[in-house]
Amino acid sequence: MTGERVTDVPVVSLAGVDKDFALPGGATMTALTGIDLDLRRGEFVSLIGPSGCGKSTLLRLIGDLTQPSAGVVTVNGKPAPQARLDRDYGMVFQAPVLFDWRTVEENVRLPLELTGQERTARDARVAEMLELVELPDFARHYPYQLSGGMQQRVAIARALTFSPAILLMDEPFGALDEMTRERMNSEVLRIWEQTGITVVFVTHSIPEAVFLSSRVVVMSARPGRITRIVEVDLPRPRGVETRESRRYFEMVTQVREALRSGEGSGTSDDSLASIERAEAEGLTG
């Protein structure tokens, strides 16, 4: 709808998805309920919401790292487990999850080893990816020799090496300082623009979500659900001027208000969300 390079075929689709966790003692905990979400190809979508509202769980459902209790998850036109086996997505976890015993280039190479790529093509690809995240000089370093932000960039390079159609990122820059974070944001946008990949991006930062996204999915907790989806119509390419534009601040405010109303403290202008909330409270309370 925002007119960015998107098609109408959803690349990720969640329909009526619930996720319950069994708790010790026989009780169950509803992490997500009634999730309906369609992502268009080439979109950059952020998930934002209070801690514990199920953002990571939602990402893990898309990645088939956990299975829904109800509903259907479709990725790249197939059931999520099949998409995982076809390696349709790359995941960047909140922690970098690098293997200590592998150098930077060996870590980036890991997915290519698993897909059984031929060696010379593989090495060229790894070099290209390290170029992309601006770490070519650190190819032979071990993870312990890198800063946290550099490690995270290695993790991003690794997720991108085998050119997945979808990139799932779980608070990748949560631990970075503001300046590094802004630089990383620009890098991720550049990669997104260069590769035409679909990105699902979990964050706690409203400015980050607005700056990066085509759409911001606002969630609320207990039980986790989607309360609002904010279309971000800021022009692209986005840069320093974007962060200083009026429209940007308006969007930030809009997302902040959506978040606050989702908390249930203020009056909600989203009647659907409050109805859902009332229903959910009736069910669990």
Site for Mg ion, rule CB under 5 A: 56
Measured from the Cβ of residue 9, the count of other Cβ atoms closer than 10 Å reads 11
Q: Which of 33, 46, 56, 220 binds ligand ATP (CB under 6 A)?
A: 56
Which sign, positive or negative, has the C-alpha torsion 248, 229, 80, 23? positive
Question: Which one of Mg ion, another protein, ligand ATP, none is in contact with 53 (Cβ closer than 5 to 8 A by kind)?
Answer: ligand ATP
Establish if 252 lies at the interface with ligand ATP (CB under 6 A): no
Task: Catalogue the E-assigned strands of 108-257.
Answer: 166-170, 198-202, 215-220, 225-231
Contact, 196 vs 143, CB < 8 A?
Answer: no
Site for ligand ATP in 210-249 (CB under 6 A): 224
| 91 forms part of the interface with another protein (CB under 8 A) | yes
Question: 227 to each of 92, 104, 220, 258, 282, how far by Cα in Å?
Answer: 25, 40, 6, 8, 17
Q: Does 89 bind another protein (CB under 8 A)?
A: yes
Q: Write the CA distances from 170 to 4, 6, 48, 56, integer angstroms.
A: 23, 23, 11, 7
The window from 96-104, 189-197, 205-213, 262-270 that contacts another protein (CB under 8 A) reads: 96-104
Residue 201 or 248: which CB sits closer to another protein?
201
Query: Among 84, 183, 243, 256, which residue interacts with another protein (rule: CB under 8 A)?
Result: 84
Q: At residue 167, what are phi and psi to the nearest 5 degrees?
A: -120, 120
Is 54 a binding residue for ligand ATP by CB under 6 A? The answer is yes
Two structure tokens written together for 272: 């659907």
Taking the complex as a whole, the smallest distance from the CB of residue 68 to ligand ATP amounts, in Å, to: 13
| Residue 89, binding choice from Mg ion, ligand ATP, another protein, none, Cβ under 5 to 8 Å by partner class | another protein
Angle at 201 between CA 36 and CA 252, to 5 degrees: 90
- Compute the distance between CA of residue 128 and CA of residue 242 in angstroms, rounded to an integer: 29
Determine if 120 is a binding residue for ligand ATP (CB under 6 A).
no
Please identify which residue in 25, 26, 101, 265 interacts with another protein, judged by CB under 8 A. Answer: 101
Does 31 engage in binding with ligand ATP (CB under 6 A)?
yes
Please report whether residue 29 would count as binding another protein according to CB under 8 A.
Answer: no
Q: How far apart are CA 258 and CA 244, in angstroms?
A: 21
Return residues touching ligand ATP (CB under 6 A): 21, 29, 31, 51-57, 224
Return residues touching another protein (CB under 8 A): 63, 65, 84-87, 89-91, 93, 95, 97, 99-102, 110-111, 113-114, 142-144
